[in-house]
Structures are given as structure tokens and as C-alpha cells.
Structure 1
């Protein structure tokens, strides 16, 4: 069975999710994982599905992108690309005044500790910048990592919190 990674982006409007889902269902694509959001008036969708070939999915999505308001891309991915979570799930939150480099700095600290970002969302609301991330951390690293994150956060003028994720919330 084919596994595809599909992205759709464009100016937000009602019906994009329905249009894309209907087109993909019409060619036998089963949506297995997805994330969809609106970012400052733009819609962004990333999904993984199984079923048709990449060429079939591209051809089916082409009419939705024909007027240039949406951009759809399709890429075949291997089914073995999904790996089991390694480590312990944590939630990280960062908030403070917006400034250049917040995401780069805190994710670099995570990467250096062997942490893996599994989901990350940011929002700018007026002068307040908020980052929320789900991360998998190597066992036993949370204490040291939290200390290092606090050091980096202080240099950025933001506050960071790191706490174990409750499995029923994920």
C-alpha cells in the first residue's frame, strides 16, 4: 500500500478541509495522520494518507489548485518512517516579549540534549509570544535540560516551563 505525505496551503476560506478530504476519499486515500491550522489568514494542512499512488493523488488535487489560490504537494514516503517514541513525553511552554531567535534557541537546547520535538505551535498576540511544544526527552534528562532551558530563556527575556505530559492528554 502506498503512503503519501501531502501539504496544502493557501488563503483561508470555508471548505478547504472538506474539498481536500472529499477529493482524497474519491481516489481511495485514507487519512491516517494530519494537522491543519490557520496562520494569520493562511490555511496550512499537512497529512499522511495511504492508498493511491502519488500521481493519482496529485491528479485528483490538481483542480483544487488550478485557480492558484491553493498549493498542493504530494510526496511518497516509506511506511517504515514512523518510529516509536523514544524517551519520555514532556510539554514545554515558552512565553514573553517577541524577539528574534526564540524558537531557534530553545529547540537547539532540546536537540543538544537528544530531545525530539513532536509538535510545536507558536502564536504572537500583540507583544506576547507563546510557544507550546510536545517533546520526547531521553530518560533522566529533564532536570538538567530544564536548568539549561531556563538559562537560555533568561538570556532571551522569556519564561520557559517543562513538565511531564500526561498520557491521557496526548
Structure 2
């Protein structure tokens, strides 16, 4: 069995997740990690599974992709060396008027602090832009990171909140 990374994107419609999961189940592939969402009418899925060779999975997904006008990619990936968190878990939220550079500025602060973004979602709801991210920060760095985030947020005209998260909630 190989560990595979699979992406599926295309115009959203009911049943895509069921169709893809069905093909994978028929092949004996076990889904281990996945994320799926709808982005302005488009479907996007990324998943990691263990299963047969990448070429076999790709061949099995090809008819579904052609029939549903989806783009499906499959590639073999190495197993994760360490699943242990590298820092302390935090939830970062940003909201305010939409403007260019919010994601770039906020994620740069986290990266410069030595933090790792483990999940990030953004939504534009009318004029309101919302970003929510799960991040791991090096122990003891949250105070300084929060100060730098507040400086970046002030320059962008948005509000930012950084709060400690319990790892079992994430």
C-alpha cells in the first residue's frame, strides 16, 4: 500500500464527495486526512489516503473526472515523519473590510515568529473579510507574535485575535 495525496477540483454539484470516496473505497484505499470545501461555486478537495499504486488510483478516477468535468491529480507521498506538534496551538482570527494583502501580512508575521499554519480558511461576506487559522507557535512566543499581529492589523485596518487553543479542540 502506498500513501497518496489526491486533489479534486471542479464546478460544485451534489455527490462529488460520495463519488470520489466510492471510487477510492472500491480500490481499497483508506482515507486518513481530508479537507473539502466549496469556494464560490467551485468544489475543492485534498486528501491523503493509503491505497494501491498512484497510477491505479488515477486510472480509476479518470472516468469520474471526465464525466463530471473535474480535475483529479494523484501522487505518491512519503509517510509523515512526525505527527507531533512543533509548538503551542493557537487560533488566529482576522476580520475587517476586504483589502489586498491581508493573508500575506498576517501569515508573514506567523512565519517570522517561527510559527506553522496548520489550517487556514478565508471568506468574503459582502464587504467583510474573515480569516481563521490554526497555528502552532514556538513556546513563549505568543505575546511578541500577538503584538506584531496587532501592528500588521492596524496597518491593514482589520481586527485580529490570537487565542490559545486546546489541542483536543483542533
Flag whether TM exceeds 0.5 (same fold). Answer: yes
In structure 2, the residue corresponding to 1:123 is in which secondary structure? strand
Question: Unaligned 5+ residue runs, structure 1?
Answer: none
Q: CA deviation at 1:67?
A: 3.5
Q: Taking structure 1 as reference, are residues 36 and 94 closer, same or farther at Cα in structure 2, changes over 3 Å only?
A: same
The TM-score, its normalising length taken from structure 1, stands at 0.97
Cα offset, 1:85, TM superposition: 1.2
Match of 2:146? 146
Aligned-residue Cα RMSD (Å) equals 1.0
1:12 Cα deviation (Å)? 0.5
Provide the residue aligned with 1:32 in structure 2: 32
Matches within 5 A, 1:111-122: 111-122=111-122
Q: What residue is the counterpart of 1:2 in the other structure?
A: 2
> 1:47-86 alignment to 2 at 5 Å?
47-67=47-67, 69-86=69-86
The alignment partner of 1:144 has SS state of helix
- Alignment correspondent of 1:107: 107
Give the SS at the match of 2:96: strand
Corresponding residue SS for 1:45: strand
For normalisation by structure 2, the TM-score amounts to 0.97
Deviation sequence 1:109-138 (CA, Å, 0-9, x none): 100000000000000000000000000000
Number of residue-to-residue matches in the alignment? 170
